[in-house]
Amino acid sequence: MNPSFEFPNPDHITVGTVGETGARTFYLQVGAAGSVASFKLEKQQAAALAEYLGSVLADLPEPEAAPLPAPELVEPVVSEWTVGGIGIAYDEDADRVLLVVHEVATVDDEDDEDVDPDFDPDGPDDEAAARIRITRPQVAALIARCQELVAAGRPLCPFCGRPDGPDGHFCPREN
C-alpha cells in the first residue's frame, strides 16, 4: 500500500505538467515544511477540479487576501501514486477548503484466483489518500493554474474536434 498524506496548512499547492504538449503528464503537488508530495492525475481531472472549485468559491464571500499565482512544480517530480477520486468540502469554522485526494483503486483481474472475493469497491479504503486543507486564495490560484494548463493543450481540429498535433492526425471527416 502506498503512503497517505496529511497537509493541514500547506504553503505550496499547484498543478503542473512534465513533458511536451500532446504527451504531458499532469501532477497535483503539495508541500509544507520542506516536504513535497506529487500525485499523477489526468488532464480531465485537472479541468474538473478547476470547474468544481470555481463553483465552491462562487458560493463563498470574496477572500480578504488576493490570490497569488500558483507556484511551478518543485523538481524533481516523483509521483507518490495516481489520483483516482477527489472529494471536496468547505470548513466554514477554519475558512479552508478540504481536498481529499484518493489513490486510484487497482484490481488485478488477470488471474481470477488472485482476486479477493470479498473485495468491495465501496467498502473500507485500502487505497492511500491525501487530505489537503487550503485557503480560498490558494484555491483561486489553483483554479487559474488548472485552467491555464488545460487551455495550453494541443489545438482541436476544426472538423472533428479531436486534438491535432504538429504531425497532424487522422480526421474521420477529411476525405
CATH (domain of 11): 3.30.2450
Domain assignment of residue 92, yes or no: yes
Give CA–CA dist 132/141, Å, rounded.
15
Contact 80, 2 (CB under 8 A): yes
Q: pTM, whole model, 2 decimals?
A: 0.80
Domain assignment of residue 156, yes or no: no
Domain assignment of residue 175, yes or no: no
Question: What is the band of 42 on the pLDDT scale with cuts at 50, 70, 90?
Answer: very high
Would you put residue 95 in left (φ > 0), alpha (ψ -120 to 50) or beta? Answer: left
Question: What is the band of 125 on the pLDDT scale with cuts at 50, 70, 90?
Answer: low
Number of domains in the chain: 1
113, burial (CB in 10 Å: exposed 0-12, middle 13-18, buried 19+):
exposed
Residue 145 backbone dihedrals phi, psi, to 5 degrees: -65, -45
Q: What pLDDT is stored for residue 116 in this prediction?
A: 53
* CA-wise closest residue to 46 among 131, 152, 137, 132: 152
Q: What pLDDT is stored for residue 118 in this prediction?
A: 52
Q: Which residues span the domain enclosing 68?
A: 5-151
Give CA–CA dist 127/108, Å, rounded.
14
Q: How many CB atoms lie within 10 A of CB 32?
A: 17
**Mean pLDDT for the chain overall:** 85
Would you put residue 161 in left (φ > 0), alpha (ψ -120 to 50) or beta? Answer: left
Give CA–CA dist 90/56, Å, rounded.
8
- The residue type found at 77 is V
Domain assignment of residue 159, yes or no: no
Domain assignment of residue 40, yes or no: yes
Question: What is the band of 23 on the pLDDT scale with cuts at 50, 70, 90?
Answer: confident
Domain assignment of residue 99, yes or no: yes
Domain assignment of residue 30, yes or no: yes
Domain assignment of residue 170, yes or no: no
Q: What pLDDT is stored for residue 114 in this prediction?
A: 53
